[in-house]
Amino acid sequence: MQIIPVKSSVVAKIGYDADNLFIQFVGGDWYKYSNVPETVFKRFCDADSKGQFLNREIKPKYTNYEPCIFNPVF
């Protein structure tokens, strides 16, 4: 899985693996959103505002999410 740092006042990093979207918020917490199509992840990567996209396109539609302990090794 590739972890991508992003420029946002809300989101610090995003990653995607096997229909799971991983989001690290600027406070450091990671969340896993399940059953997210790869096309949505790509649109999220391309969004000018990650926070707006998250609130408009991900949170209302992909309600199966949970906090996760995620410590990627670089």
Range of the domain at 31: 3-68
pLDDT at 73: 47
3 by Cβ neighbours in 10 Å (0-12 / 13-18 / 19+) ranks as middle
pLDDT at 50: 98
pLDDT digits (tens, 9 = 90+) for 47-67: 999 999 999 999 999 999 999
Question: What is the Rg, in whole angstroms, of the alpha carbon atoms belonging to the chain?
Answer: 11
Number of domains, the chain: 1
pLDDT at 69: 82
pLDDT at 74: 39
Domain for residue 74, yes or no?
A: no
Domain for residue 56, yes or no?
A: yes
Domain for residue 35, yes or no?
A: yes
Instruction: Provide the token pair at 60.
Output: 């209302």
If we measure between CA atoms, which residue out of 70, 66, 74 comes closest to residue 24?
70
Are 67 and 29 in contact by the 8 Å Cβ rule? The answer is yes
In the predicted model, residues of the chain with pLDDT beneath 70 are 70-74
pLDDT at 52: 97
How much is the pTM? Answer: 0.90
